[in-house]
Structure 1
Amino acid sequence: MTRIFVAILLLITVGLRAAYAQQGTDAGVWVQVEAQPSLREAQDRAQVYANALPDVNGFRLNSGWYAIVIGPYLRADAEQVLRVYRAERQIPSDSFITFSGALGQQFWPIGANVLNRGAITAPVQPEPQPEQPQAGLTPQPSDETRSQALQSERLLSGQERKDLQTALQAAGFYSSTIDGAFGQGTRRSMAEWQRFNGFEPTGVLTTAQRKALMDDYNAPLISVGMARHVDDRAGISVDLPLGVVAFDRYEAPFAHFNPNGDLDARVVLISQEGSNTTLRALFEAMQSLEIVPLNGPRELRGDRFTIEGRGNGIVSYTQANLSNGKIKGFTLVWPEGDDARRARVLAAMTASFETTDGVLDAAAGANAEQSIDLMSGLQLRKPRLSRSGFFADPNGLVLTVAEAVQNCTRVTLEDGQELQTAWSDPELGVAVLRPNKTLAPMAVAALNEAQPRLQSEVAVAGYSYEGALGAPTLTYGKIADIRGLNGEAGVTRLSLTAQPGDAGGPVFDDHGNVVGMLLPAQTEGRTLPRDVSLAAAADRLHEILSKAGATAQTAKETGQVSPDELNRRATGMTVLVNCWG
C-alpha cells in the first residue's frame, strides 16, 4: 500500500512538470534505467518498463547500444524520480541521470521522435513476456542446466568472480565480502537476483545471466563511452569516458579533454618531470584552479597526493604520483547530482591508470593563448570579492571593511593565509580579522588620532583593481571635512577618486601615519560625485581594535616622509583581502 501511495504522489508531483519539460526536450533531463546491445532486446525491455511506469522512452546511443530512459523532467524532478524508483526497486539501483545530448534516434514508443533526431521506423514486435512482479534485468530462457552453469562458472578468473559479487552488491542483492568465493551468501544472492528477474532460482548464474548482470552493472560506463586511451606523449594509458569528453590540446603539464556534448565533464591528464618540491608546488597550484572547488579533503603524503573538491555545481578528483623523477596523474571533473555514474567512472580510471616512459614536453602548448587568469590553460579560481586591508598589530591582525567578509565561506590574504573575523562594527562598516597563524608584517599601521587639518594632503594605499596589479597603489587627495556627509563624527570626507578595490585601505597623512581607513562607496540611495570618498577616522579604528582585544600602535613621527618612504610603508602594511563564495 505504501509503495502505491508513493508512486501516486510522485506522479502528481512531477507529472505536470514532466509535460513542461517535454515541450523543451533539448534541455530535458532523463533517468536512464537500462541499455541493451540489440534493438530487439531494447524494445522488449522498454515494453516491460512501460507496463509498470509512465514516461518510458528509448533512444539509440552513440556507442550503438539502445538506452531505455524515463522522462524528460526538470533536473530536480529527475533526481526525485531516480531516488523514489530506486528506493522502491522499480528500476535498477545503478540507474542514473542523463541528458538529451547523449541520445540519438528514438525507438520507443515506436514511431515517436520527441528530440527531432529521427525515429527507428521499422518496429520489431516484442515477443510475449512472462508476467513479472517488477521491472528488472533482461529476462530470458535458461541457456544452461545447473550442471552446465557450474561447469562454465569454474572457468571464471578470480577477478571475474569478484566482479560478479560487486555487480550483485551494486544491484542490492549482496552485502558480504568481495572475495571471489561463492559460498552460501553469494549463492543466496544469486538466487534472489534470479527470482527478481524471472529466472529459476538455482543459485548458479548461467553464462547468459552473468552477461546480463554485468551488462546492467556496466551500463553507466557504456553510457559515457568508457574506452582505453593511450597517450604516448604524456606517457599515460588509462580508460576514459570518451563518449562525453574528447582530446582538445596540450598545455604542459596538462593534456586537456573537454566536453563534447551536454554533460559538463572534463578530464585533465598530468605529466611532467619533477621532484618532491615540484610535486608539492603542483599540489598547491591545483588548489587554486576553478575546477578544484574549495570544499573537500586533500592529502599530500610522500610521493603522492589526492585532492577532492565539491561545489559550484561540480565534483572533482585529482591524483598524482612521483616515480623515477616523473609526475603522472589525472583530474576528473563531473557535474553534481550524478554521483553514482561519477563514482563508476572514477573507479575505472583509477584502476586502469598506467604509466609509460614518456613525459610531456615542458614546451608543449607554448603557443597557446596566454592570460593571467589561466594556468596551463586552466582557469584560476577567482574570489567572489576582493578588498584592501592593512596590518594593525605586529601579530598580523588586519583591519578591513565589513563587506569584505560578508557571506563568505572563506576569507584569505593574497598568499592564501586564512583569516577569521575577530570583531565587526556593522554601523561603521569595519571588520577586524585575525590570521589562523601568527604573521610577521613588514610594516604595521601607526594611528594618528589627532584631528587632521582641512585641505591637508592624504594618500590611500589599496588594491585598486582587486589584485590584478599584484601590489597596492597610492591614490592622492585631500581632507575635505572632518565629519561625514550628515555631520556624523568618526567619519572623514575626502576629496579623492577611489576604485572599489581600494576600500579597506589605509589613509596616510604626509607624515606617513594612518589617519583613517577608506570606506566603500555608497551603492544605495544617492550616488556621490566620483571625487567624494569617506573614511573611518583613526580614533574610531582605535576603539574597534580595543574591542577586538588588540592594542593599536600610536603615531610618533612628526616630520614629513619622502614619497619613496611612504610607498615602502604602504607596500609593507597593505594587504589584499579575498572573499570566497
Structure 2
Amino acid sequence: MLRRTVAAVALWAALGGAALAQEGQVWIQVDRLPTLGRAQLSAEGYSEQLPDDVAGYYLGSGWYAVALGPFSPAEAEAVRANLIAEGVIPTDSAITDGAGFQQRFWPGAPGAAASDPGELSASSAEVSAAPATPALPDESPAEAEASEAALSPGEKQQLQSALAWAGVYEGGIDGAFGRGTRAAMAAWQARNGHEPTGILTARQRADLLAGFNAVLDGMGLDTVRDEAAGIQVDLPLALLQGPVVEPPFVRYDPRDAGGPQVVLISQPGDPDRLAALYEMMQVLEIVPPTGDRQRTESAFVIDGRDDRIHSTTYAWLVDGQIKGFALVWPVGDDARRERLLEAMRASFRRLPGVLEPGSVDPGEDQAVDLVSGLQVRVPRRTASGFFVDAGGATVTTAQAVEGCERITLDESTEARVVATDPALNLAVLQPLAELAPRAVAGFLPGAPRIGAEVAVAGYPYGGALARPALTFGTLADVRGLNGEETVRRLEVAAQDGDAGGPVLAEDGSVIGMLLPRDWGTQVLPAEVSYALDAEAIQGALAAAGVQPVLAPASGAKGAVALTRDAAGLTVLVSCW
C-alpha cells in the first residue's frame, strides 16, 4: 500500500500539486457522507495517503463531500485513472466542477473567510466529540423550492428515506417528489412546529437528516479497508472487536456479550461455489432459519430472525470472486440496524485481492461444529428413530419431539408429528418431502425368547457420527420389573441418544423401541433399559394409518449384517 501511495503522490506532484482553484478547474469527489464527523474522518484518512490536496465541503441537505484537487480537467482524468488503478480511491469517484460545494470543513477554515458566519471552524477533536451541522439560513417557500430543485436524485432519495424513518412516508424511494412525498413533508413540518407547506427548507432538510443519521452516533462508524480480503466498508468499530481471519470469513465479534457481529465474506468462486456458500450460511447459528431468502447465479441475500438476533447476509459474484458481508444485530433495535445496514451497503467497495482457502493455519480451536470459526446451528436435542414404511414414516419417542418448532430426519428432511401416545412414549412422524428408505422395520411376530441376544441401534452422540452405532446386550424379560406388559426389559449399556432407536433380534427383526432411561418414575440401574414392545408399536401405527410390516422367518445374522441393516433402518431425529 505504501508503494502505491508514494507513486500516486509523485504523479500528482508532477501534474501540478496543490494548485489554487482557478476558473475551469475541477475536483475528484472520492466520498459523500451524511454526517460531519464521518466526513472529517474520511478526509483525515485520505490526507494520510495524499497529504496536500484533500478538501472537504458541505454540500447542503446534511451531506458532506471529500474531494481531491483542484486540477485542470485533463489532469483530473489522469490522476483519477491512476489512483483508481492503484486502489487508493474508489472506482465510483467522480470528477465535479465543485458547483455544489458550500462551506469548507477540511483542512480547517481558510483564513480569508474566517469571518464568514457559515464557515466551519471545529477542530478534528471537536468534530469527533460533537459532530455538528453548519448553521443554515431559513428560506422563503420560493427559495426552498429553488434549493430543492438543485438536489441530486440521490439526495432526494435520502430525504424520502428520512421521511419514511420519521414515520410519515410509506411510498417508494424513487427521488420523485409527488403528492405522497409532499404530504409526508407537510406532516413532518406540522409535527415539528413548522408551517406545513409541503416543501422543506434547507434548514428543515438538515434537521430531518440530522435526526435520521443520529441513530448512528456512538457506533464509532469508520471505514475499514481490508487489503487481504479485498473489501472496503464502513463498520461500527466501537461495538466490535477483531478482526479474526478464517477464510472465507473475516470476523468482527461482539465487543460486549449479546452485541452485534459483522462477518466479511471473501473467496474465489463461480456460480456453483456461490450456491454452496448460500447453503452453508443457512446452517450457521448467526443465520436464523426463519426469514426471506433470494438467490440468483451471481448474488444472494439471506434475512433471518428469531427471538434473539436479526441477521442479513449479502454476497455477490463478480469476476470470479465472491464478496459480501453479514450483519448480526440484537432484536428490538430495528432503527439502528436498518440505518447501519444501509450505510454498510452504500459504503461496500470491492478492492483487488481475495482470501484464499487454506491461507490461514486452522489452529487447535477448530471443531466439527464450527465453520471457519462460526458456530453451526445445533438442535435443542437429538434422539434416534427408525423407518416403518417405504414412504419414510418414522417412529421415535414422544419426548424427543415435545415442544419442537421444527423436526428433521437425518438433519436434512423436515418432518411433522402425525400421532403421539404419551402413555407409551411413542410418536409417529411423516417426512414433508419424499423419502425412499434403504430399509424398513420388519416386526417380529410373537414374543422374543428371554435370554436372546439383542442389539440396540441409535445415535448416542447425536450427529457427530454419520452412521448409527450398535450396542449389544440380552433380553432379560418380556415384561417390566413391575410386570408391565407393553415393555421388554433389556440388559444393555445403552446411552441417552439411543432412545427411540430399534431393538433388533439376532435375525434383524424389530422386537421393540428403546425407551429413555429417565422416563417414568423408576430409577433403573445403569445396565437396565426398557424397550416398548413390537405389538404396542404396531397398534399405534395402525391407529395412525401406517401399515406395519412383519418380518419373514430367517436365521440369525452376524454383527456385520446387523450393522448394515441398522444403517439403512435407523434415523437421527433432531428437535429444533
439-448 or 192-201, which moves further after superposition? 192-201
Q: Distance in 2 between matches of 1:470 and 1:536?
A: 26
Distance 2:192 2:257 in 1: 33
Letter in 2 for 1:433: L
Is 1:574 equivalent to 2:574 in the alignment? no
Is 1:374 matched up with 2:373?
A: no
Partner of 1:516: 512
What residue number does 2:163 align with?
Answer: 168
Q: 1:316 maps to which residue?
A: 311
Q: In structure 2, which of residues 219, 225, 229 is the aligned counterpart of residue 234 of structure 1?
A: 229
1:507 corresponds to 2:500? no
CA distance 1:36–1:391, shift in 2 (3 Å): same
2:410 aligns with 414
- Change in Cα spacing, 1:413 to 1:185, as seen in structure 2 (3 Å) is closer
Task: Identify which range, 453-462 or 298-307, moves more after superposition.
Answer: 298-307
Partner of 2:379: 383
Gapped regions of structure 2 (runs ≥ 5): 1-34, 38-131
Cα pair distance change 1:153/1:470, threshold 3 Å: same
Q: After superposition, give the CA deviation of every residue in 1:168-222 in whole Å (9 maximum; x if it has no partner).
A: 3322444555444556765565455445434566665444433222111111123
Deviation at 1:450, TM superposition (A): 2.2
Pick one of 458, 461, 467 that aligns with 2:463.
467
Q: CA RMSD in A?
A: 2.7
Are 2:328 and 1:333 aligned? yes
**Larger deviation, residues 375-384 vs 542-551:** 542-551
Counterpart of 1:457 in structure 2 is 453
Conservation of the 8 A alpha-carbon contact between 1:504 and 1:518: yes
1:284-303 maps to which residues of 2 (within 5 A)? 284-303=279-298
Please identify runs of 4+ aligned residues in structure 1 that moved more than 6 A.
Answer: none
For residues 537 and 185 of structure 1, the distance between their equivalents in structure 2, rounded to whole angstroms, comes to 70
Deviates more, 1:237-246 or 1:250-259: 237-246
Letter in 2 for 1:230: R
Using the size of structure 2 for normalisation, the TM-score is 0.72
Which residue identity lines up with residue 450 of structure 2 in the other structure? L
Residue matched to 1:544: 540
Structure 1 pair 483–340 and aligned structure 2 pair: CA distance change class (3 A): same
CA distance in 2, matches of 1:275, 1:36: 40
Amino acid at match of 2:293: R
- Contact residue 253 and residue 260 of structure 2 kept, 8 A: yes
Contact 2:504 2:510 in 1 (8 A): yes
Alignment of 1:349 with 2:351, yes or no, is no
5+ long unaligned stretches in structure 1: 1-34, 38-136
Give me the whole-angstrom Cα distance separating, in 2, the residues matched to 1:446 and 1:147.
87
Q: Mapping of 1:432-451 within 5 angstroms?
A: 432-451=428-447
Deviation at residue 247 of structure 1 after TM alignment: 3.2
In the alignment, which residue of structure 2 is the partner of 1:427? Answer: 423
- Larger CA deviation: 213-222 vs 350-359: 350-359
Q: Kindly report which structure 2 residues correspond to 1:257-272, keeping only aligned pairs within 5 A, or say none.
A: 257-261=252-256, 264-272=259-267
Q: Which moved more, 1:296-305 or 1:383-392?
A: 296-305
Asked if the contact 2:260–2:330 (Cα under 8 Å) also holds between the matched residues in 1, the reply is yes
Partner SS state of residue 346, structure 1: helix
Q: Among residues 212, 221, 225, which one is paired with 1:217 in the alignment?
A: 212
Moved more, 376-385 or 421-430: 421-430
Q: 1:186, 1:199 → 2: CA distance?
A: 17
Where does 1:390-401 land on structure 2 (aligned, <5 Å)?
A: 390-401=386-397
Residues of 2 paired with 1:544 and 1:216: CA distance? 63
Aligned to 1:358: 353
Q: Take 2:248 and 2:158, find their aligned partners in 1: how far apart are those partners?
A: 35
Contact 2:253 2:262 in 1 (8 A): yes
Secondary structure of the residue that 2:462 maps to in structure 1? coil
User: Counterpart in 1 of 2:528?
Assistant: 532
- Residues 211 and 535 of structure 1: CA distance in aligned 2, closer, same or farther (over 3 Å): same
Aligned match of 2:477: 481
Quick check: 1:554 aligned with 2:550? yes
Distance in 1 between residues matched to 2:244 and 2:448, nearest whole Å: 59
The alpha carbon displacement at 1:385 in A equals: 0.9
**SS of 1:422 mapped into structure 2:** strand
> 1:571 and 1:246, CA in 2 relative to 1: closer, same or farther beyond 3 A?
same
Question: Which residue does 2:250 correspond to in 1?
Answer: 255
Whole-angstrom CA distance in 2 between matches of 1:184 and 1:532: 77
CA deviations on 1:417-466 (whole Å, 9 max, x unpaired) are: 11111222221111111111221222222111221111111110111122
SS at match of 2:208: helix
CA distance in 1, matches of 2:423, 2:398: 10
Q: What is the rounded CA distance, in whole Å, between the counterparts of 1:375 and 1:463 in structure 2?
A: 22
**How much identity, in percent, do the aligned residues show?**
48
Superposition TM-score, scaled by structure 1 size? 0.71
The answer as to whether partners of 2:190 and 2:196 remain within 8 angstroms in 1 is yes
Query: CA, structure 1 residues 184+299, in 2 after alignment: closer, same or farther (shift >3 Å)?
Result: closer
Counterparts of 1:453 and 1:445, CA distance in 2: 19
Alpha-carbon separation, structure 2, partners of 1:540 and 1:145: 86
Larger radius of gyration between Structure 1 and Structure 2: 2
Say which SS state the counterpart of residue 381 (structure 1) adopts: coil
Task: Pick closer, same or farther for the CA change 1:147–1:436 going to 2, 3 Å.
Answer: closer
Change (3 A) 1:277 1:185: closer
Moved more, 190-199 or 506-515: 190-199
Distance 1:147 1:432 in 2: 74
| 8 Å Cα contact 2:274-2:297 kept in structure 1 | no
- Taking a change above 3 Å as real, the CA distance of residues 356 and 560 of structure 1, as seen in their structure-2 partners, is same
Letter of the 2:236 counterpart: P
* Larger CA deviation: 202-211 vs 236-245: 202-211
- The 8 Å contact of residues 481 and 489 in structure 2, kept in 1 or not, is answered as yes
In structure 2, the CA distance between the partners of 1:204 and 1:392, relative to structure 1 (3 Å rule), is closer
For residues 184 and 452 of structure 1, the distance between their equivalents in structure 2, rounded to whole angstroms, comes to 82
Any conservation in 1 of the 2:400–2:575 contact (CA below 8 Å)? yes
Q: Distance between the aligned counterparts of 1:469 and 1:150, measured in 2?
A: 70
After TM superposition, give the deviation of residue 354 of structure 1 in Å.
2.9
Output one character per residue of 1:321-359: Cα deviation in whole Å (capped at 9) or x when no partner: 222222222111111111122122222223333323321
Matched AA of 2:321: K
Q: Which amino acid aligns with 1:342?
A: R
Residues 3-14 of structure 1 aligned to structure 2 (within 5 Å): none
Q: For residues 511 and 474 of structure 1, what CA distance do their matches in structure 2 show?
A: 14
How many pairs align? 447
